[in-house]
Each structure stands twice: as structure tokens, then as C-alpha cells.
């Protein structure tokens, strides 16, 4: 079957998807479920929310064209259909009756205006690259060197530095419930990405003051902010159910209180003490006891989560031939098997690629993957070769956020590096994830940085493009490879899923040579919940399916 036919068959199957099955216990539909989270890095604008803390909230407050089931299958939300004859021009038809929580209807313009805002260079949105395959993206990303008398839509002269265009020409409104998307290259699985929050619609009020909107977003999802000021920064955010939500994630509870704990240990103690209902990430100190502490209410299952750490290219010793040798030496000095056994006790698996075992196309036999194996003799030899180019006299450090439960494994990794290479190596804690991410964004790191990835949508491309493509929004450490970029583009526009996978495999083999990131392991989702809640299920991306949780 041809690629386009596969894609359209998938769309046809989506049209048959209905609401999720009834829970075993209906509980109290007005009860508020408490769960853990972290302070978002930015205001809650869908195209500028690129980390897990903000992502949990935005996914709950907004509904896009599709969403994902527990196992990663697409389910139609606002879209009635997404169709194409050639995988290049797509026609999107919306369901009637959707509204934002300010009663504004959700229309074709709600999507197109939001996508154009997200793509425009001047708006500096972290997810702008998600629109890079739409015709006209390069025009909204590039600016004029010589306007030569050109004028804007209102007849005003354009200036040097103005964008070549304000909107992407590949987006066209047909009517209130229909729009078309023209891609620069065929992409048979393009609909698969549309459940990611960057593709959410926005009400017109958002464009009046986007920063203010991000502090109190108005969405169309299963939940809405409880009231003005419901987001208490560095404390929690309170969400209540949206009574007008019309999708497949209708809440079976009254809302969510997402609490921002300073440490995973504190969150775990809160579940034990009855102050928290659901915890989706455990501290390493609980790995030996969580199954006995919560014998009937725990989860330990594979998820689309990849853990690594990056070395910035802007630091001395970490670029060019010297940097390539040091990156390989560091990787081979880490005993991943021992760390996952001792620290994580069966909740992690040593990495063999840059994706996840739950993603189609995953491989444990990439060419060059031996650089991910513990090999202290070879590590010492490569480090010595690098020292011959330029002696390394610094202290090697790994930055991490203390509120994420990372201290134990960071200590184990730096000790493995220290003992193998006979260098000084330490962990560098930041109090919050947002604080650690700020130094990455500002390019002011002093050493390595934790660089985990939780997939936005279930695709190999999503593990590669956002992190390693030149100029990508989450490529904070500045990796750039023409060979990698070319292979990634060829995979994205391949005529079949098999051909795309082959290109992504080749692209990962380039990464194994360059090592812009040091893969460590794949994470299982490990979580617990109190006996106050029922029907707790965790999705393919490790996030609980909040709408299905019931509470007595």
C-alpha cells in the first residue's frame, strides 16, 4: 500500500474513534485531583511551551486537531477529517460547535492565526520549527536586507529587518470549518504530529497581548484555569473542568491542582501522607520501596522518555577534533549497566540509540553504537589523544535541576567519569528545571547539562529534529551538521515509512560519531497514586491520562 493510502487509511480509522470507555468507578465528578508538576519556563503559549512542566498544563487547557490515546494512536479532536491525495496538500475539516472558554467559536482562522504567530521569526517562539515544512515558512523566518520600495498589506513601506512575509502562504482558509495546508515536501505521516501543543488554536483575544494571555490562557481543552490568578508561580496551578469541551478527553473529575514540588522526595512524601493523589515520577530513594509502599497503586512501564546530557560546543575543549575525542571518551567512561541496576533498580534501560523502545524504528544495533558501551581502556586512550591537542585542566560538571530527582544518578555518572579518566567531575544542581533551562537558553553553562527528552508525538523524527537539527528550538547547545540535516530532511519527505526509518537510522549514526549528546538510558514511567483515586492510567509519553482519573 502506498504511503498516502496508509495515511488516509489512518485518518479513516480515526473517524471511527469515540470517547474512552467508562471507568470502573465514576467517583465524585466534582472532586479535584491533585498531581505533581513543575513551574513552567514561559507564559503558557502553546507555541512557546517546550518543556514538560508547561506541557502538562497546555495539553490540558487546549485541544488541537487530534490527540493521542494511551498507546500513542491518533484520535480526532477538533478535526472531523484530515485528508490528502498526494501527502502534500492537506484539507482539514473541523467539527462544528467547538468554542473557547470565552465563548468565541473555534474556526479555521483560530488555527491558521495561531500557526502563523508561532512561525513568525519576530515572535521568537520555541516551537516555530514545527511549521518548517509548510510552504511560506522560510518567508516568515527571514528578513529583508533591501525592501526596495516594497509595502505591507496596509501600504506602509517595509523596512530593513522586516520579515519577507507575515503569514505562511501554504495556509488557506476555505470557510469557517475548512482550511488547507500545502507542504513544501510530501509528508505522509504529517497528521501524526498534529496532537502536539504547538498546533493548538488560539482565540483572537490572545493577539491583543500575548504575554498577558500566557499568564491566564483561554483554551478549548478539557480543563480551564480555575480563576484569574489560578497560576501561583513556583507553587501550583489550579484547573477546573471545561463544561463546553466536546472532545474525546471528557474529564471524569472536577479539575486538577498541579503542585510544583521542590524535590521528588517531597512529592513522594506528600502521596504517602495523603496530600497528593497522583505522582508521575519517583525519587531514586523510593525505587527499592515504592512497590511495597503502594502495592496496588503503582506503575512501572516503558515510555517515550530518553535521558542524556549535552556538552555545549561554545566551551573550550568541546569542539573540533579535540571535542570529538573527549565526547567519545566521556561516553565510554560511564558504566550504564551498573548505574541502571544500582540506582534505578529496573526502571531504566541503557540507551542504544537516540529515540525510545516504544517508538517504531527503534534500533539496538546502530553502526557506531559501541561508543555507548562501558570501555574504560578506550576511554582513557581517547582522553589522552585529546590532551595531546590541548590539556584539560578544568573540573567537569553536569548541571541538573534538583526538583527532578536527578541527584543520585548525576553523582553516579560523575563518579564513573572521575574514576575512569582520573579527572575532577561534579554535579551542579539548580533549584528548578526552569532555572537550569534559562542557563541553557542563555548559553552560559560551565559544563555539561542534563538533557532528557519526553516525546511530543510518537515519531522518531520528534526525537531527532527538535534536539539536533541546526537552529531547532530545543538545540540549546548549538549542534550543527549538514549531513545530519540532509538525512533528516530526506527522511521527513520519504515516500514510505520504511524509507523514512532508514534515513533516520543513518542520521542517528551521524550523531553517534559527533555525540552532541551523550545518551544514557531510556526511562520507564514509574509512578504511584493514593487510594483516594481510581482509574489511573499512564500514557505512551509517561503523562497520566488526567481526564480518566476518578476520585471518591
Q: Are residues 232 and 310 in the same domain?
A: no
State the number of CA atoms in the 13 A half-sphere of 167 facing the CB: 13
pLDDT band at residue 19 under the 50/70/90 scheme: very low
Contact (CB, 8 A) for 402 and 263: yes
Predicted local distance difference test score (pLDDT) of residue 159: 65
Q: Is 265 exposed, middle or buried, given 0-12, 13-18 or 19+ CB atoms closer than 10 A?
A: middle
Q: Is 511 part of a structural domain of the chain?
A: yes
Q: Are residues 333 and 244 in the same domain?
A: no
* Residue closest to 210 by CA, chosen among 140, 109, 122: 122
pLDDT band at residue 9 under the 50/70/90 scheme: very low
pLDDT at 3 over 60: no
Predicted local distance difference test score (pLDDT) of residue 158: 60
Q: Give the model confidence (pLDDT) of 180-229 as tens digits.
A: 999 998 887 899 899 999 999 999 999 999 999 999 999 999 999 999 88
- pLDDT, greater one: 159 or 272: 272
Q: Output the average pLDDT for the chain.
A: 90
For position 114, which CATH number holds? 3.40.190.10
Q: Are residues 509 and 534 in the same domain?
A: no
pLDDT at 448 over 50: yes
Percent of the chain whose predicted confidence (pLDDT) is above 90: 77
Q: Are residues 492 and 539 in the same domain?
A: no
pLDDT at 513 over 80: yes
Q: Are residues 65 and 81 in the same domain?
A: yes
Domain range for 384: 302-524
State the number of CA atoms in the 13 A half-sphere of 375 facing the CB: 14
Task: Give the separation between CA 31 and CA 23, rounded to whole angstroms.
Answer: 15
DSSP 8-class letter at 329: H
Predicted local distance difference test score (pLDDT) of residue 27: 79
Average pLDDT over residues 511-531: 96
Task: Give the separation between CA 89 and CA 170, rounded to whole angstroms.
Answer: 9
Predicted local distance difference test score (pLDDT) of residue 14: 28
Q: Are residues 487 and 541 in the same domain?
A: no
Predicted local distance difference test score (pLDDT) of residue 154: 64
Q: Is 343 part of a structural domain of the chain?
A: yes
For position 391, which CATH number holds? 3.10.105.10
> Lowest mean pLDDT: which of 52-61, 390-399, 400-409?
400-409
pLDDT at 435 over 90: no
Q: Are residues 517 and 391 in the same domain?
A: yes
Cell 559501541 sits on residue? 370
How many domains does the structure of the chain reveal?
Answer: 2
Q: Give the model confidence (pLDDT) of 110-169 as tens digits.
A: 999 999 999 999 999 999 989 999 999 999 998 655 455 565 666 666 665 667 899 999
Q: Is 116 part of a structural domain of the chain?
A: yes
pLDDT at 11 over 60: no
pLDDT at 517 over 80: yes
Cell of residue 140, nine digits:
516568515
Q: Is 295 part of a structural domain of the chain?
A: no
Cell of residue 147, nine digits:
525592501
| Residue ranges with strand state E in 269-342 | 278-279, 298-310
Burial 273-290 (b: 16+ CB within 10 A, else e): eeebbbbbbbbbebbeeb
Average pLDDT over residues 75-98: 96
Q: Are residues 512 and 537 in the same domain?
A: no
Q: Is 439 part of a structural domain of the chain?
A: yes
Percent of the chain whose predicted confidence (pLDDT) is above 70: 92
Q: Are residues 250 and 348 in the same domain?
A: no
pLDDT band at residue 94 under the 50/70/90 scheme: very high
* Residue closest to 529 by CA, chosen among 279, 291, 256, 274: 279
Predicted local distance difference test score (pLDDT) of residue 28: 83
Q: Is 152 part of a structural domain of the chain?
A: no
Q: Are residues 87 and 13 in the same domain?
A: yes
Element (H, E) at 178: strand 178-182
Q: Is 58 part of a structural domain of the chain?
A: yes
Q: Are residues 475 and 540 in the same domain?
A: no
Q: Is 272 part of a structural domain of the chain?
A: no
Burial 212-244 (b: 16+ CB within 10 A, else e): ebbbebbbbbbbbbbeeebbeeeebbbbbbbee
Q: Give the model confidence (pLDDT) of 481-498 as tens digits.
A: 999 999 998 998 887 778
Say if strands 348-350 and 517-529 run parallel, antiparallel, or are unpaired: antiparallel
Predicted local distance difference test score (pLDDT) of residue 152: 60
Predicted local distance difference test score (pLDDT) of residue 21: 33
Top-confidence range, 13-22, 280-289, 380-389, 455-464: 380-389
Predicted local distance difference test score (pLDDT) of residue 337: 96
Say if strands 396-401 and 425-430 run parallel, antiparallel, or are unpaired: parallel
Q: Are residues 121 and 215 in the same domain?
A: yes
Top-confidence range, 71-75, 153-157, 329-333, 491-495: 329-333
Amino acid at each position: 500500500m502506498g504511503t498516502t493510502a496508509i495515511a488516509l487509511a489512518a485518518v479513516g480509522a480515526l473517524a471511527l474513534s469515540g470517547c474512552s470507555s467508562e471507568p470502573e468507578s465514576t467517583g465524585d465528578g466534582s472532586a479535584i485531583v491533585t498531581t505533581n508538576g513543575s513551574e513552567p519556563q514561559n507564559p503558557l503559549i502553546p507555541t512557546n511551551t517546550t518543556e514538560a512542566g508547561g506541557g502538562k498544563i497546555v495539553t490540558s487547557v487546549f485541544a488541537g486537531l487530534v490527540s493521542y490515546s494511551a498507546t500513542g494512536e491518533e484520535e480526532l479532536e477538533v478535526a472531523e477529517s484530515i485528508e490528502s491525495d498526494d501527502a502534500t496538500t492537506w484539507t482539514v475539516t473541523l467539527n462544528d460547535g467547538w468554542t473557547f472558554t470565552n465563548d468565541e467559536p473555534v474556526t479555521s482562522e483560530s488555527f491558521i492565526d495561531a500557526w502563523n504567530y508561532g512561525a513568525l521569526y519576530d515572535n521568537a517562539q520555541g516551537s516555530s520549527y514545527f511549521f518548517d515544512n509548510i510552504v511560506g515558512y522560510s518567508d516568515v523566518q527571514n528578513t529583508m536586507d533591501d525592501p526596495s520600495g516594497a509595502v505591507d498589506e496596509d501600504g506602509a513601506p517595509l523596512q530593513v529587518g522586516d520579515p519577507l512575509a507575515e503569514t505562511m502562504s501554504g495556509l488557506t482558509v476555505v470557510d469557517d470549518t475548512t482550511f488547507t495546508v500545502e507542504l513544501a515536501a510530501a509528508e505522509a505521516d504529517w497528521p501524526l504530529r498534529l496532537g502536539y501543543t504547538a498546533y493548538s488554536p488560539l482565540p483572537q483575544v490572545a493577539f491583543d497581548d500575548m504575554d498577558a494571555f500566557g499568564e491566564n490562557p483561554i483554551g478549548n481543552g478539557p480543563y480551564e484555569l480555575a480563576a484569574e490568578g489560578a497560576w501561583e508561580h513556583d507553587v501550583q496551578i489550579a484547573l477546573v473542568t471545561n463544561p463546553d469541551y466536546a472532545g474525546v478527553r471528557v474529564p471524569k473529575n472536577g479539575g486538577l491542582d498541579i503542585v510544583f514540588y521542590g524535590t521528588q522526595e517531597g512529592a513522594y512524601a506528600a502521596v504517602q501522607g495523603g496530600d497528593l493523589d497522583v505522582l508521575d515520577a519517583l525519587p531514586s530513594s523510593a525505587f527499592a520501596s515504592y512497590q511495597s509502599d503502594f502495592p496496588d497503586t503503582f506503575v512501572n512501564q516503558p515510555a517515550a522518555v530518553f535521558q542524556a546530557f549535552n556538552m555545549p560546543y561554545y566551551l573550550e575543549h568541546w569542539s573540533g577534533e579535540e571535542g570529538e575525542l573527549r565526547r567519545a571518551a566521556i561516553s565510554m567512561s560511564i558504566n550504564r549497566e551498573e548505574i541502571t541496576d544500582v540506582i534505578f533498580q529496573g526502571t531504566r534501560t541503557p540507551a542504544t540509540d537516540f529515540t525510545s523502545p516504544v517508538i517504531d524504528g527503534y534500533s539496538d544495533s546502530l553502526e557506531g553504537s559501541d561508543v555507548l558501551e562501558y570501555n574504560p581502556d578506550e576511554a582513557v586512550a581517547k582522553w589522552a589523544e585529546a590532551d595531546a591537542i590541548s590539556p584539560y585542566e578544568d573540573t567537569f560538571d553536569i548541571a541538573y535541576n534538583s526538583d527532578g530527582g536527578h541527584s543520585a544518578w548525576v553523582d553516579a555518572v560523575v563518579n564513573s567519569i572521575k574514576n575512569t579518566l582520573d579527572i575532577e567531575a561534579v554535579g551542579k544542581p539548580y533549584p528548578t528545571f526552569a532555572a537550569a533551562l534559562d542557563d541553557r537558553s542563555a548559553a552560559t553553562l560551565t559544563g555539561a547539562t542534563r538533557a532528557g527528552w519526553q516525546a511530543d508525538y510518537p515519531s522518531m523524527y520528534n526525537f531527532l529534529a527538535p534536539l539536533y537539527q541546526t537552529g531547532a528550538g530545543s538545540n540549546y547547545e548549538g549542534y550543527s551538521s549538514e549531513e545530519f540535516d540532509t538525512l533528516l530532511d530526506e527522511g521527513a519527505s520519504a515516500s514510505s515509512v520504511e524509507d523514512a526509518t532508514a534515513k533516520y537510522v543513518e542520521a542517528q549514526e551521524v550523531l553517534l560519531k559527533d555525540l552532541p549528546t551523550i545518551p544514557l538510558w531510556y526511562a520507564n514511567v514509574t509512578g504511584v497514586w493514593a487510594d483516594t483515586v481510581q482509574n489511573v492510567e499512564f500514557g505512551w509519553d509517561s503523562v497520566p491520562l488526567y481526564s480518566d482519573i476518578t476520585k471518591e
